Amino acid sequence: MGAIRENLRAALLVATVLVNACAGGSAASVSGLPAVPNIDAYPPLANDAAPGASASAAATATAIGRGVNFGNMLEAPTEGAWGLTVTDEFIDKAAAAGFASVRLPVRWSNHASAQAPFTIDAAFLARVESVIDKLLAKGLVVVLNMHHYRQLDGDQLDPGESAVANAAVDVRFVMLWEQLAQHFAGHSGRLVFELYNEPHGRINGEGWNVLAARALRVVRKTNPNRVVVIGPTSWNSASDLHLLKMPNDANLIATVHNYAPFHFTHQGAEWVSPVLPVGVTCCSAAQQAEMTAPLDIAKTWSAARHYPVFVGEFGAYSKADDASRIDFNRKMRDAMEARAMTWAYWEFASGFGVFDPVTLSFRQGLLDALLGR
């Protein structure tokens, strides 16, 4: 019944916006529901003269080093829904293994009100903060992002999600960042914000440039110097870097994701339609050319724009054979580092995992490929 109730409230909000738009006024409160704030109240930063990275941003990009994603944990619809929760043991093991950073994907949109001011659930915020504090206490750099805001991309919602009014989606994204930035303003500079994971769909192209610039402006109100990560559209594809307009801000890092060759890295993945056939090995000369082509695009972009590039995700799904996965990880690691790119492996303990959550031990071949000599 809760989902039905939220959908009815969202529909009423849409009707409110339409009625007021026809009347030439702003969206007003009806039946006690607050009005949807106007996105123009959050103007974007200019993006016509990006200065390149500051010394602080360059140093932070270097400090990210060799990292790992704590994936399928806090970006599930609810923590644990995809089989994993963040544990102290995961944190301890990641730090002890020698990872320099943890990228922390979080689905904030599932834990915030559907009505303005879109308040983030206090208990969930405290839970995420506790994870961040434990990671920082281990000396790790933490890259905190917003992940899987399905409606923002125009994607189908996951089970258990409820839509908000269409008129509220973009401004809700900005206002969520307003809250997060204010809440974490006092945290260590080793906490890095990443505005959004893999923007695509309805925000592809110029829509993302404007929205990212709006979000960065609200972050800068309370975090004037914190390093922020921004990536291109089409799922953080290097091929879309030419479309990305970095805001006029020096404390920025760019990010791309690299899962090439996709028929190898995603073979047998249940979420890919149609499911790709298994049995694909790696890494031939042709496959290595596929792997490095996006990195070369990113390196060229970085040299021209003077922002460092962080490879926020790469990895091969467990349906591939172990020897090929190990070879892929080592060759990708070497290729990224040869281009002065830091990275975060996808991911710690799920389908791509470098760590086995059943035996509570690392898959040593994968770990050595990432961190060994």
pLDDT of residue 5: 36
Instruction: Report residue 57's pLDDT band, with 50, 70 and 90 as the boundaries.
Output: very high
Mean pLDDT for all residues in the chain: 92
Show me where the domains of the chain are located. Answer: 1-35, 42-371
Q: Is the pTM of this model over 0.85?
A: yes
347-to-11, 68, 73, 94 alpha-carbon distances in Å: 37, 6, 10, 11
pLDDT of residue 173: 98
Tokens 């933490």 -> residue: 142
Residue 290 known to be catalytic? no
Say if residue 1's pLDDT is above 80.
Answer: no
Instruction: Report residue 83's pLDDT band, with 50, 70 and 90 as the boundaries.
Output: very high
Chain center to CA of 23: 39
Residue 79 known to be catalytic? no
- The rounded distance, in Å, linking the Cα atoms of 231 and 238 is 9
Q: What is the pLDDT of residues 198-211, one digit of tens each?
A: 999 999 989 999 99
Q: What are the φ/ψ torsions at residue 207 (nearest 5 degrees)?
A: -55, -40
pLDDT of residue 15: 37
Overall size of the chain counted in residues: 373
pLDDT of residue 32: 64
Say if residue 364's pLDDT is above 90.
Answer: yes
Instruction: Report residue 34's pLDDT band, with 50, 70 and 90 as the boundaries.
Output: confident
Pick the CATH number of 42-371 from 3.20.20.80, 1.10.565.10, 2.30.30.40, 1.10.10.10: 3.20.20.80
Which residue in the list 75, 161, 313, 347 is annotated as catalytic?
313
Which residue in the list 79, 198, 270, 337 is annotated as catalytic?
198
